[in-house]
Structure 1
């Protein structure tokens, strides 16, 4: 199973949805909370090119946010990426 990292906020409904999808698939992930941590958010923004959360990496590949993760699932591509 690929290593999954998700930058998130405790107050973000999209973060909750993304984590729910991963959890429903039995995927363990490392969660990095950006709440009250401007340096961590800046690090995420530098890596992702985006400032919004969640930002998700699977196996070192930036997949984007919640909508991007769900689009991969709808297209049938998420499982293959998780197995890579």
Structure 2
């Protein structure tokens, strides 16, 4: 079964684009929350990932995995597919 993937992003964020491109390349469906103008979603992100001040913030099955660099590291280490249920 595929994992539930959520990603908090902002407009014009290169790191967000890179993370989404990696997820897209794996055929992963994800829910995107654009926090550019949405203070409620920004607060939600900070509650879910305490100390997170940057985007993207990525969650797989409700677990914070970090940002774009963290997602890329999971892919390099061969751990991402397992988390995604592939």
* Shift of residue 76, structure 1, vs aligned partner: 0.2
Equivalenced residue count is: 84
Task: Provide the residue aligned with 2:32 in structure 1.
Answer: 31
Task: Provide the residue aligned with 2:21 in structure 1.
Answer: 20
Structure 1, gaps ≥5 residues long? none
**Could you state the TM-score of these two structures normalised by the residue count of structure 1?**
0.95
Structure 2, gaps ≥5 residues long? none
Work out whether residues 9 and 33 of structure 1, in 8 Å CA contact, stay in contact via their aligned partners in 2: yes
Q: Where does structure 1 differ by over 2 angstroms across 4 or more consecutive aligned residues?
A: none
Work out whether residues 44 and 51 of structure 1, in 8 Å CA contact, stay in contact via their aligned partners in 2: no
RMSD of the alignment, in Å?
A: 1.1
* Shift of residue 27, structure 1, vs aligned partner: 0.3
